[in-house]
Structure 1
Amino acid sequence: MRKLASAIVVVACLWLQACAGLPHRAPEPARPLVLISIDAFRADYYDRGVTPRLKALAEGGARGTLRPSFPSLTFPNHYTLVTGKVPDHHGIVANNMYDPTYPGANAAPALAWFDKTKNADGVWWREAKPMWTSATQAGLKVDVVFWPGAQAENDGMRVDYAPDFQKALDSRGRADLLLQRLDQPKRPDVFILYIDAVDEAGHKKGPDSPEVNTALAEADAAVGHLLDGLKARGIDANVIVVSDHGMISVSKDRAVYISQRLGDVPPDLVADTQIPSFASKDPRYDLVYYGAVAMINPRPGYGDALDKALIRTKPDHMQCWHKGDIPTRLKFGSNARVPAIVCLGDPGWQVGGLAPLGTDVGNHGYDPDTPEMTALFIANGPDIRRGVSLGRFDNVDVYSLEMKLLGLKPEPNDGSLKIVGKALRK
């Protein structure tokens, strides 16, 4: 018997050693997770009475409002929602940006929201690990429709499904892409959906327009369509619906132009053709981003002129800082991708370069404490308490809820469960 017992112990030890070398796979979540973003769904849009499916979802679960991270732009805040890190820490500091670690000052690769090839380049997204990468590494199946960054490889992993962005595809069509995946032999454990109809209408027609209400109804119907499809297939999921930021009315008459602050362009200066199409045509500086917030890199020999024009003279309707002097509460400026000077327009004011700003009558990117930037949060499902009001909290906290619902250990992040954890049943 002793010999037999010893043999069993030896075999058990060898088995444990072998298993120790296998990659860790977390148990499948008790419930699938559905994460939906309705871009630019301002928190008070909920009260317009045109989103009955979202209203029912909120009343049957938890509701709050989100303080976006600075800058209150689409790419930075979508990555915050799935990493729990502020943009300064996850590296997506704007919708368009340079990375100075690449060789060549002006020829540096530049991320641009309109360039799907660069959006899928993992180099831009490598400074933080998103929820979907952790889930994939744990053996969970993840399908993502159009969420920024989802096509990129991260930590050696890619999600199971992340189709190319199709701008013309309406909200219901995007939901259908996920529903089609439910009929695969192995259903996804995590469903992630991005809807931008409300953002499009808000920019083009303004937040108070009938077109925004129409877009809200479209997005609401798409959410309902997706949830109905899950129910028809017997899938009882935890659902989180969020937005990245709000929207405020703007006008081309409420604008500050950097080139006007500097004075006329000297005739002997020739525009640098290496400057990306989204940047300023004024060769004295690179305008990496413009709008509610502007991000500027002075060209050689013009640093002092820009300091005088933008910082020392304190122009009306905007505040400008060197990246190292940005107010601490904005948690921005330490990342290498943040340009040398950052200017923030007063609410409703925009900052441009040389060329006139476009015709948009709605915008975002402002101070996160601007009421119109406040975003939507709703959670519902078997693991979510009913009738919970969370109030306003930082959007870095949403990631912690996602990871808790998936049963995964979160990566180091800037959020917590202190507030959003009150939505959990246990």
Structure 2
Amino acid sequence: MEMLTLCAVISAFVALGSSIPLQQRKKAPHKLLLVSFDGFRWDYDQDVDTPNLDNLSKDGVKAKYMTPAFVTITSPCHFTLLSGRYIENHGVIHNMYFNVSTWQKESYLRTQGISSWWDNGTLPIWITAQRQGLKTGSLFFPGGNATYRGETVNIKKVEKTGHSYSNETEWAENVETVMKWFTEQDLDFVALYFGEPDSTGHKHGPDSQQRKDMVQQVDRMVGHIRNRVQHYGLNSSLNIIITSDHGMATVHKGSDEIVLRNIKNFSLSDLQFHLLDYGPTGLIVPKEGRLEKVYQALNGSHPQLNVYKKDDAPNRLHYGNNARITPLVLYGNSGYVIHSYMKYQFNNGEHGFDNEDMDMKTIFRATGPSFKQGLIVEPFESVNVYALMCELLGITPEIHDGDLEVTKNMLLTHNQDNVVTAKPRGWIPFLSIIRTIL
């Protein structure tokens, strides 16, 4: 009788287990907050008192600087942070959506809602984490308003057209929202975006007093974030990464500015499509049969202008091997923006230049229960942040171009011990029943 009962129990549990495949389940050891202050150049804390950033470095990790991906503009660089892929590999090649056939171009904020621009087969960390059982959020973060293979971020807040990025009161409100997401909604990962000091750097220039004042506002917000983390009792359970997408350079003004219309043997009528007058970069599609003519006219035409065919793009830029990248790519040397017909742009600060330019370098700070304290690390590329975040969250990363080896020295321990193998539900009770019967 006991043997029949045992056989029946075994049969029942075998049937139960057969419908639940063995799989690995990742458990996030700590929550993670990724904060980006757009356009925060690597040395902005050197001519302004930044006590809160300084304290964060003492309590955690500071990189000497971080090298962003090329092209050094907002959406492409943020998606590299989120995916660990170079821009040519993730395909978000510009801030603006464009269509070379129809000449359609959309603004930065409108492009945020065009999922086809973002969803190119590369998953951002939000979706990867959600697929592995975690909950995520995005507040104003580039890419957070898109749908990826039918999935969206669990919780998001999106800015509206005409939004002012400099309102410190709203900054504090957004921090409060994020803290409640972590505590009341039990989110595991949130990406929080601030549009400064980028906007101020564009308008007034990176050497202006206005930029210095805005850096002090950023520093106050860093202190506020840490105070609210303590208020909500998250000190022991939340890791914080504070970084940015790119730096900022002073725009050169003078008689030798790059104006394509003034270049000998070049005509805008030879173009099928162009995306120009957007800082120091330009994307050009010549009309059928005119590629070589346009290239020869532009190449070497101005000492501060770089021109290459996409197939000849320098490998170090990782900005050539993608169908969206146009046959000709242009970018100016540091400080030189590219104008088409005439000067449409009058910013005093710009980015989008070569990522080897020191003015394009940006910051990396991190603190929390997983990080060492008082550690200064050598510079690294932003493409490596993704693998670090996956490690912190205990999730398996997608294919990426970074390497955890670059950043693992920041961590007190690795999260491998937090990986557990899930057993079929009922397995532990099953063993208990067998022991009872036997």
- Whether TM exceeds 0.5 here: the answer is yes
For the residues of structure 2 that align with 1:129 and 1:25, how far apart are their CA atoms?
A: 19
Moved more, 164-173 or 360-369: 164-173
1:120 to 100, 103, 113: 113
Matches within 5 A, 1:137-176: 137-166=131-160, 167-169=163-165, 170-176=167-173
Moved more, 379-388 or 120-129: 120-129
Corresponding residue for 1:273? none
Corresponding residue for 2:102? 106
For the residues of structure 2 that align with 1:81 and 1:293, how far apart are their CA atoms?
A: 21
Corresponding residue for 1:269? none
Corresponding residue for 2:261? 259
Q: Is residue 196 of structure 2 the alignment partner of residue 197 of structure 1?
A: yes
Give the number of the structure whose alpha-carbon radius of gyration is greater.
2
Q: Is residue 295 of structure 2 the alignment partner of residue 342 of structure 1?
A: no
For the residues of structure 1 that align with 2:19 and 2:219, how far apart are their CA atoms?
A: 50
Unaligned runs of 5+ in 1: 266-279
Structure 1 ranges of 4+ moved more than 6 A: none
Corresponding residue for 2:91? 91
8 A contact 1:262–1:309 mirrored in 2: yes
Q: Provide the aligned length of Structure 1 versus Structure 2.
A: 401
> Residue 197 of structure 1 aligns to a residue in which SS?
coil
1:132 to 126, 132, 140: 126
8 A contact 1:42–1:246 mirrored in 2: yes
8 A contact 1:205–1:360 mirrored in 2: yes
Corresponding residue for 1:67? 67
For the residues of structure 1 that align with 2:329 and 2:227, how far apart are their CA atoms?
A: 45
CA offsets 1:331-370 (integer angstroms, 9 cap, x no match): 1111111111111211111212113142101111111111
Unaligned runs of 5+ in 2: 414-438
CA offsets 1:186-226 (integer angstroms, 9 cap, x no match): 23222211111200111111111111111111122222222
CA offsets 1:359-401 (integer angstroms, 9 cap, x no match): 1011111111111111100010000011222111010000011
| Cα offset, 1:234, TM superposition | 0.7
Note the aligned Cα RMSD (angstroms): 2.2
CA offsets 1:99-141 (integer angstroms, 9 cap, x no match): 56xxxx125x5453132xx422221112210111112222322
Moved more, 5-14 or 396-405: 5-14
Corresponding residue for 2:14? 13
Corresponding residue for 1:79? 79
CA offsets 1:277-328 (integer angstroms, 9 cap, x no match): xxx8x673522243212111123454343122112x4532111001111111
For the residues of structure 1 that align with 2:106 and 2:191, how far apart are their CA atoms?
A: 22
Q: Is residue 51 of structure 2 the alignment partner of residue 57 of structure 1?
A: no
Percentage of pairs with the same residue: 27
For the residues of structure 2 that align with 1:209 and 1:188, how far apart are their CA atoms?
A: 39
For the residues of structure 2 that align with 1:171 and 1:187, how far apart are their CA atoms?
A: 26
Q: Is residue 206 of structure 2 the alignment partner of residue 218 of structure 1?
A: no
8 A contact 2:263–2:301 mirrored in 1: no
Corresponding residue for 1:418? 405
8 A contact 1:75–1:94 mirrored in 2: yes
For the residues of structure 2 that align with 1:183 and 1:390, how far apart are their CA atoms?
A: 32
> Residue 109 of structure 2 aligns to a residue in which SS?
coil
For the residues of structure 1 that align with 2:386 and 2:168, how far apart are their CA atoms?
A: 24
> Residue 149 of structure 1 aligns to a residue in which SS?
coil
1:292 to 253, 256, 280: 280
CA offsets 1:229-250 (integer angstroms, 9 cap, x no match): 2211111210000111111111
Q: TM-score, normalised by structure 1?
A: 0.88
